[in-house]
Structure 1
Amino acid sequence: MTDTHADATKLKGDLWKKMAESPFLMVGPADGSTHSEPLTAQLDRDQVDTLFFFIGRNNRVANGGELMLQFVSRGHDFFACLHGKARVDNDRALIDKLWNRQVEAWFPGGKDDPDLALLRVDIDSAELWETDMSIAGKVKMLFGGTIRSDQEGSHATVRTTAETRG
Structure 2
Amino acid sequence: MRKTYSRSHANRGASLERMVDITNTQYRNKGVADIRKVPTPVQIQSNVRGRVTGYTQKPEWVDYSGVHDGRAIVFDAKETSSRTSFPLSNISEHQYDLLKSWYQKGAHAFLLVSFTKLVEVFLLPFGRLQEAWERAKKGGRKSIPYNDFKLYCDQVKSENGYVLHYLKHVG
Q: TM-score, normalised by structure 1?
A: 0.27
If asked which structure has higher relative contact order (CA below 8 Å, sep 6+), I would say: 1
Greater percentage in helix? 2
TM-score normalised by the chain length of structure 2? 0.26
